[in-house]
DNA sequence: GATGTCGTCATTCTTTCGGGTGATTTTGCA
DNA sequence: TGCAAAATCACCCGAAAGAATGACGACATC
């Protein structure tokens, strides 16, 4: 958390130094102090936005509510073609007993959708290595050696739709 | 959300204008363009941080974990505990339109069960290369690039249980 | 007999996966 | 405020998967 402020200070100082150095070479020579100011403004604005995003990243309050929804299932009714009439609730109990974290389950669902590790990484804004780590842990907890097997197990256990 | 960007632009422009105006009155007179740059930098950095904070204000995520509890209606017909009492009839029509052969579908179901190519080859008494060929053809017909994607497509299309 | 489909298998090459290990950072909680 | 869990990322290496091609035999059909 504090690291970012440090980075901000250091890089900011470097920026100022650079700008001040180049100032005497290009900008001021051409009598365009406005350009110099605009450049500083843009750079620091972008940097400030970056810092702001860093500081308040994923700082959400998660209010979890468990809603038990009882669904009457006619016994003779065949399984619906699209089984997603209900938004699907992953079996939280089983997830807990297996020790599968929310992030791992999230990656698992994307795996089940047929995405590659790289695509998942892009979609979640993390590195491919991170995805692989989550995958490996999830596979381990599911006792799966391959991603297809993990998907199969996940569906069996009611973790995946 | 976009309002903040607008505010940012407007206020940023005003700041630049103000600074450019005052520049000729105070700052440049004292030959301190550095001060001018630093001022711009600080102002815009603070402004950027503000914008970043605005944009990603801590959102309160209300996550409702819906636990779907299936209550079987006491019907006259005995309810199938597992919905696969019928051995699952793959959508033959769709299979035909896609031109997927029986052998390809057979391999596809084994893929969906999480078996590796080698395991499939062993189980079917064919070579691993053959399995790969069938896989490739099936993936092509399904428009899938990966086996997980093929499984997902196959389930969507009713080809796989 | 020519044609076409299907199943089988091989080779080469590239990409992706997965295991193993270690490290740092962030976060939630006591 | 400190600790434990979770999340993130990196690196290496071997195995698996997949793409691209070519080939061959069985079988059916015309």
- Same domain? B105 vs B141: yes
Residue B94 (CA) to nucleotide C4 (C1'), in angstroms, measures: 22
Given this model, what pLDDT does residue B48 score? 61
A102 touches strand D (CB under 7 A): yes
- Same domain? A7 vs A57: yes
Of the partner residues B49, B57, B76, the one whose CB lies closest to the CB of residue A51 = B49
Q: Which domain holds residue A142?
A: 92-156
Whether A75 maps to a domain, the answer reads no
Q: What angle do helix axes B102-112 and B147-156 make, rounded to 10 degrees?
A: 110
Give the pLDDT band of residue B40 (cuts 50, 70, 90): low
A116 touches strand C (CB under 7 A): yes
> What are the tens digits of pLDDT across the range A105-157?
999 999 999 999 999 999 999 999 999 999 999 999 999 999 999 999 999 98
- Same domain? B64 vs B10: yes
CATH number reported for the structural domain that contains residue A108 in this entry:
1.10.10.10
Given this model, what pLDDT does residue A37 score? 63
Whether B82 maps to a domain, the answer reads no
- Same domain? A55 vs A107: no
Contacts of B146 in chain A (CB under 8 A): 114, 116
Given this model, what pLDDT does residue B58 score? 42
Segment among A6-15, B50-59, B99-108 with least mean pLDDT? B50-59
Whether A74 maps to a domain, the answer reads no
Of the partner residues A40, A61, A112, the one whose CB lies closest to the CB of residue B41 = A40
Number of structural domains found in chain A: 2
Whether A44 maps to a domain, the answer reads yes
The secondary structure of B25-83 as a DSSP string is IIIGGGT-HHHHHHHHHHHHHHHHHHHHHHHT---EEEEEEEEEEEEE---SSPPPSST
Burial (Cβ within 10 Å: 0-12, 13-18, ≥19) of residue B111 = buried
- Same domain? A48 vs A97: no
Statement: residue B129 has pLDDT above 70? yes
Whether A73 maps to a domain, the answer reads no
- Same domain? B149 vs B100: yes
Given this model, what pLDDT does residue A65 score? 41
Given this model, what pLDDT does residue A161 score? 80
The secondary structure of A11-42 as a DSSP string is HHHHHHHHHHHHIIIIIGGGT-HHHHHHHHHH
Whether A147 maps to a domain, the answer reads yes
B32 touches strand D (CB under 7 A): no
Tokens 């959708």 found at: A113
Contact B75, A42 (CB under 8 A): no
- Same domain? A64 vs A6: yes
For chain B, the straight-line distance linking the first and the last C-alpha, in angstroms and rounded, comes to 44
């Amino acid at each position: 958390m504090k690291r970012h402020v440090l980075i901000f200070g250091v890089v900011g100082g470097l920026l100022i130094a650079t700008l001040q150095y180049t100032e005497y070479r290009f900008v001021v020579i051409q009598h365009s102090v406005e350009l110099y100011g605009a450049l500083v403004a843009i750079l620091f604005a972008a940097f400030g936005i970056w810092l702001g995003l860093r500081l308040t990243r994923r700082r959400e309050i998660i209010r979890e509510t468990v809603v038990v929804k009882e669904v009457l299932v006619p016994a003779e009714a065949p399984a619906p073609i699209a089984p997603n009439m209900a938004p699907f609730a992953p079996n939280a109990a089983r997830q807990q007993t297996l020790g599968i974290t929310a992030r791992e389950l999230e990656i698992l669902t994307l795996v089940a959708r047929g995405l590659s590790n790289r695509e998942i990484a892009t979609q979640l804004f993390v590195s491919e290595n991170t995805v692989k780590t989550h995958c490996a842990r999830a596979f381990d907890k599911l006792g799966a050696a391959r991603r297809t097997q993990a998907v199969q197990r996940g569906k069996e256990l009611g973790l995946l739709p």
